[in-house]
């Protein structure tokens, strides 16, 4: 009976953790709503402009060069695909599915996370660099994207007052068949008192932050058998590192 009760408690704890992780994704999307609306509105506006231009060309009998019209339609199609890609990433990110650790492409996971994490960053003049990535890891794709989006957006926010704003995502082989992923910035770094307790719940260096994002990141990474930590960069800024199992 004691064993049955313990298993029930463990199962309930896992359900609560999964719910907390999902709520954190929804919260992140709420914070990014205006930037996402702007990001989706750009291709939609471009589609309207391309199609309006094509209609004017079609109604003008003096236009003999059909390649101009074809170019306008191709531009509209490209922008429609761009808008669809943004919506696909968003729907995937907020979905509530069963946690499934399986072999996946780290470069694809990072690519999708960048598409969400850097929403609105071009207006803040943030330069992104993605170093060569170790390709195959064993993970839950959406949860790892959640970790990456959180770390990227924290980095972008930390660099708001910096003259140089560079965000670097990289990975390297680590010990015991693990892959180490890093997200580094050129911000002011972390206060020492905060850095020591950074992954504890309700610890934050943000004036309006709740201090749960990094705690959830730790929960996700540790559920994958990895660990997460931060380091001050000698040249200024901060780097967050976490490990994931490498696919055999």
* Higher per-residue confidence, 179 vs 176: 179
Question: Does residue 166 have a pLDDT over 70?
Answer: yes
DSSP class of 103: E
Give residue 204's pLDDT.
Answer: 57
* Higher per-residue confidence, 239 vs 91: 239
Mean pLDDT of 125-133: 87
* Higher per-residue confidence, 124 vs 190: 190
Question: Does residue 205 have a pLDDT over 70?
Answer: no
* Percent of the chain's residues with pLDDT above 70: 88
Give residue 192's pLDDT.
Answer: 77
Give residue 210's pLDDT.
Answer: 45
211, burial (CB in 10 Å: exposed 0-12, middle 13-18, buried 19+)? middle
Give residue 71's pLDDT.
Answer: 92
Question: Does residue 247 have a pLDDT over 50?
Answer: yes
Give residue 97's pLDDT.
Answer: 65
* Higher per-residue confidence, 232 vs 100: 232
Task: Specify the length of the chain in residues.
Answer: 248
Helices 2-31 + 213-223 axis angle, to 10: 130
Mean pLDDT of 216-222: 89
pLDDT digits (tens, 9 = 90+) for 74-120: 999 999 998 888 888 778 777 776 667 899 999 999 998 988 888 76
Mean pLDDT of 122-145: 86
Confidence band, pLDDT 50/70/90 cuts, at residue 211? low
Give residue 246's pLDDT.
Answer: 94
pLDDT digits (tens, 9 = 90+) for 137-158: 999 998 999 999 999 999 998 8
Specify the DSSP element, H or E, that contains 230. Answer: strand 228-232
Q: Long-range contacts: 83-92, Cβ < 8 Å, 24+?
A: 83/40, 83/43, 83/44, 83/47, 85/115, 86/36, 86/39, 86/40, 86/43, 86/115, 87/40, 89/115, 89/116, 90/29, 90/36, 90/116, 92/142, 92/145
Give residue 148's pLDDT.
Answer: 94
């Amino acid at each position: 009976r004691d064993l049955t009760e313990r298993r029930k408690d463990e199962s309930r704890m896992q359900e609560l953790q999964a719910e907390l992780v999902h709520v954190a994704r929804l919260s992140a999307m709420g914070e990014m709503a205006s930037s996402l609306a702007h990001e989706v509105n750009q291709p939609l506006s471009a589609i309207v402009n391309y199609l309006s231009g094509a209609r004017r060309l079609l109604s003008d009998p003096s236009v003999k060069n059909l390649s101009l019209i074809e170019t306008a339609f191709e531009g509209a199609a490209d922008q429609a695909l761009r808008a669809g890609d943004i919506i696909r990433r968003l729907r995937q990110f907020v979905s509530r599915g069963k946690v499934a650790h399986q072999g996946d492409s780290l470069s694809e996971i990072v690519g999708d996370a960048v598409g969400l994490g850097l929403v609105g960053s071009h207006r803040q003049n943030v330069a992104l660099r993605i170093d060569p990535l170790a390709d195959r890891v064993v993970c839950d794709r959406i949860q790892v994207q959640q970790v990456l989006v959180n770390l990227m957006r924290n980095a972008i926010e930390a660099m708001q007052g910096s003259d140089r704003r560079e965000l670097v995502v990289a990975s390297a082989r680590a010990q015991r068949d693990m892959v180490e992923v890093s997200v580094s910035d050129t911000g002011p770094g972390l206060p020492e008192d905060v850095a020591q307790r950074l992954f504890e719940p309700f610890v934050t260096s943000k004036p309006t932050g709740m201090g749960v994002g990094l705690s959830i990141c730790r929960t996700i990474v540790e559920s994958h058998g990895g660990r997460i930590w931060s380091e001050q960069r000698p040249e200024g800024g901060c780097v967050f590192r976490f490990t994931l199992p490498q696919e055999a």
